[in-house]
Amino acid sequence: MRDIWNEIVEWHAAGETFGIATVTGTFGSAPRQPGASMAVSRSGEVVGSVSGGCVESAVYDLVLRDSGCVTFRVVAR
């Protein structure tokens, strides 16, 4: 989360809506550990990382679809 903090503070100050995804647990071999975060602004900017490839793509799509709503969800188990 620390690696994305400055950017999301700037987005918030500018009135930009955004979503944040955070890895809460992993199993097997995982590219990112719990605590890794990724933020996506409504305008499509991305900062941070939660994995590689398809997971980040799914997060990106969810944020752009739901941005502006307060939504909490588990994307995968």
Mean pLDDT by groups of 10 residues along the chain of 77 residues: 85 90 84 88 90 81 71 61
pLDDT of residue 45: 92
Question: Is the whole-model pTM more than 0.85?
Answer: no
Contacts of 56 (CB under 8 A, 6+ apart): 38, 46, 49, 50
pLDDT of residue 25: 84
Alpha carbon distance 64, 57 (integer Å): 11
pLDDT of residue 67: 61
pLDDT of residue 24: 86
